[in-house]
């Protein structure tokens, strides 16, 4: 317990939240409704009070030496445990190691936490504020879901709902009532994220390449009548080599059991081929016609078009079996 680990989950969630608002623009038009300027609204990670202090130091909102409007800022304001999404604390799950999919890693189920954010929008013109707000609100009803890669080691991606909880407005004057105002809208959000513990990559194991099981028959006698031994070698159910040996000579329907290829010289009977994502068993070969069984080992029969590559599943593919492959054991 308490060994060092750091998945950058809070940092990734903050960056993901900010990226939702980094492409907001406003347009200014003249009296004939012709667009005369388009401005991308700057976004910064900073407290609202910091911007208000800069506004007070510079009354001219168009002058660039201090701060100009419109502008947006956001910050994380709170962190709270979410018991409504609680799961079993001692339960673990296995995932393939992202850098080596032939190995697996173990980690405990994540802990749910809510991250609170404030997004502040500053403008000097009411129309600018309305344009910005209208580009944000339609996406939150009241939640918008973004996908974040929370644990890069195992490629663990989660859909994080971002919930808009409230909106407040205010007018800030830099001087007396004769000066121009700064409109401020503050939107409060809650990001429902997860925190993961350490990933135990040292427990990862290579995929089993061969299993041997022995049986002793004859009951509980000291001298059994016979012994039986079964040896099983996992078989790949897809072609890991991306080089086709031939192509389809015609379109193939979902139910067709005779497939014509351009050149069947590299395909033998009693073997498996791979077309798109479908595994197919070849029963016999005559000229360039293959008599086949479709949708082997849980794959899905599909339509294949003329010219699609046909790949052989060979013994070399057995050495490249990835984590998650069913090894051709469907039905046992």
pLDDT at position 167: 94
Task: Decide: helix, strand or coil at residue 127.
Answer: helix
Q: Report d(CA 262, CA 314) in Å as an integer.
A: 20
Q: What is the mean pLDDT of the segment spanning 84-91? A: 74
Q: Report d(CA 289, CA 272) in Å as an integer.
A: 15
Under CATH, what is the fold of the domain 9-202?
STM4215-like (3.30.2000)
Residue from 317, 321, 313 nearest 268 by CA = 313
243 confidence band (pLDDT: 50, 70, 90): confident
Q: Which range among 24-38, 63-77, 158-172, 261-275 shows the weakest confidence by mean pLDDT?
A: 63-77
**Domain extent listing, the chain:** 9-202, 246-318
Pairing mode of beta strands 258-260, 309-313: unpaired
Task: Decide: helix, strand or coil at residue 286.
Answer: strand
pTM listed for this prediction: 0.54
Site of tokens 């909106």: 167
Of 60-64, 150-154, 202-206, 310-314, the range with the highest mean pLDDT is: 310-314
Two tokens, residue 33: 């409704």
Q: CATH number for 246-318: choose from 2.70.98, 2.40.30, 3.90.640, 3.40.35.
A: 2.40.30
Query: Mind listing the pLDDT tens digit for each residue in 276-287?
Result: 889 999 999 999
pLDDT at position 116: 95
Pairing mode of beta strands 309-313, 246-247: antiparallel
More confident: 305 or 176: 305
199 confidence band (pLDDT: 50, 70, 90): confident
pLDDT at position 139: 92
Residue 288 has pLDDT above 60, yes or no: yes
pLDDT at position 173: 59
Residue 55 has pLDDT above 80, yes or no: no
Q: Which range among 57-71, 85-99, 270-284 shows the weakest confidence by mean pLDDT?
A: 57-71
Two tokens, residue 283: 């029963």
pLDDT at position 118: 94
More confident: 85 or 55: 85
């Amino acid at each position: 317990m308490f060994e060092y680990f750091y998945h950058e989950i809070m940092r990734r969630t903050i960056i993901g939240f900010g990226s939702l608002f980094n492409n907001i623009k406003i347009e200014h038009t003249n009296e004939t409704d012709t667009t005369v300027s388009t401005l991308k609204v700057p976004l910064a990670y900073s407290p609202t009070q910091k911007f208000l202090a800069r506004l007070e130091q510079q009354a001219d909102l168009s002058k660039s030496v201090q701060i100009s409007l419109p502008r947006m800022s956001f910050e994380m304001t709170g962190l709270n445990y979410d018991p409504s999404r609680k799961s079993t604390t001692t339960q673990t799950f296995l995932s393939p190691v992202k850098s080596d999919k032939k190995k697996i890693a173990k980690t405990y189920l994540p802990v749910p936490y809510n991250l609170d954010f404030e997004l502040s929008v500053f403008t000097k013109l009411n129309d600018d504020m309305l344009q910005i707000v209208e580009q944000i609100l339609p996406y939150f009803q009241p939640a918008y879901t973004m996908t974040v890669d929370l644990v890069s080691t195992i490629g663990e991606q989660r859909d994080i709902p971002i919930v808009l909880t409230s909106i407040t407005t205010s007018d800030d004057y830099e001087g007396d009532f004769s000066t121009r105002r700064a409109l401020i809208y503050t939107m409060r959000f809650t990001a429902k994220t997860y925190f993961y513990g350490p990933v135990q990559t040292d427990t990862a194991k290579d995929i089993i390449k061969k299993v041997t099981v022995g049986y002793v028959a004859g009951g509980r006698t000291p001298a059994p009548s016979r012994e039986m031994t079964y040896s099983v070698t996992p078989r790949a159910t897809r072609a890991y080599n991306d080089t086709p040996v031939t192509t389809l000579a015609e379109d193939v329907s979902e139910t067709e059991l005779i497939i014509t290829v351009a050149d069947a010289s590299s395909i033998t009977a009693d073997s498996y081929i791979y077309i798109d994502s479908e595994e197919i068993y070849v029963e016999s070969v005559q000229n360039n016609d293959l008599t086949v069984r479709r949708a082997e080992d849980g794959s899905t029969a599909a339509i294949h078009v003329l010219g699609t590559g046909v790949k052989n599943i060979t013994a070399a593919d057995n050495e490249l079996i990835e984590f998650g492959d069913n090894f051709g054991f469907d039905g046992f």
